Amino acid sequence: MIPVRDDNPAHITPWITYALILSCALIYGWQISGGVVHLEASYSGLGVTPEVLTGQSRIDAPQPWIPGWMTVFTSMFLHGSLGHLLGNLLFLWVFGNNIEDAMGHACFTVFYLLCGVAAVAAQVMPDPASAVPMVGASGAISGVLGAYLLLYPRARILIALPPPLIFVTIGWFRAIWVLTLWFALQLAMSLGIESEGGGVAFMAHVGGFIAGLALIPLFKFAHVPIWRQH
């Protein structure tokens, strides 16, 4: 399912959300500017590789271009394909503005990065010796989704059918159902209910989402209620 938009207007201009979207798009353009070889090199150079982050990598293994701990943050701005990029940015476009509205620009920046860090931790801890680089903004964006569920459960989301099906909207649904179903699917995938994950870091999605749920009470403005009823 693809969220197209919500009926939950923001009251500020979400400059950080816009900046994150633009940054990811520009960085992906840089990733593909050198062809497939450069794209793949960016994964090991700036993505999070668990064995490198935990100090278990072989001497002859590809090493990051920057200190390993910094890849926790740079990986949030890399993507593996155009579809990966567009999917993440669509979710951030639909849900990010309201969460930025609920806590302000500076707090949203910190919140987003912390959710991304939690997502990396959730993906790395089960297999710290993995040599597979992790890239993508989806872990941090999952935190935005968790926050949205807790703040705006009754907001309505317009949902469309995804490719390869015909892109057609199928109706408006409450955020509580859309996001709960989304999280349940990520959790099921992370537990191995689906054997073919397609290289998607489902544990990162789960970790980011839970981080968003846990952090939003600490980051939101005091006047913004939890579990808004309208």
Residue 84, domain member (yes or no): yes
**pTM to 2 decimals?**
0.92
138 near 88, Cβ under 8 Å? yes
Domain with 161 in it: 2-219
The CATH number given to whatever domain includes residue 90 is 1.20.1540.10
| Tens place of pLDDT per residue across the chain (230 aa) | 789 999 999 999 999 999 999 999 999 999 999 888 899 999 999 999 999 999 888 777 788 899 999 999 999 999 999 999 999 999 999 999 999 999 999 999 999 999 999 999 999 998 899 999 999 999 999 999 999 999 999 999 999 887 665 667 789 999 999 999 999 999 998 887 444 444 678 999 999 999 999 999 999 999 999 998 76
Residue 202, domain member (yes or no): yes
How many domains are there within the chain? 1
Residue 175, domain member (yes or no): yes
Closest CA to 96 of 21, 36, 29, 28: 21
Residue 184, domain member (yes or no): yes
Q: What one-character DSSP code corresponds to residue 228?
A: -
Residue 153, domain member (yes or no): yes
Residue 229, domain member (yes or no): no
Residue 92, domain member (yes or no): yes
Residue 224, domain member (yes or no): no
- Report d(CA 158, CA 170) in Å as an integer: 8
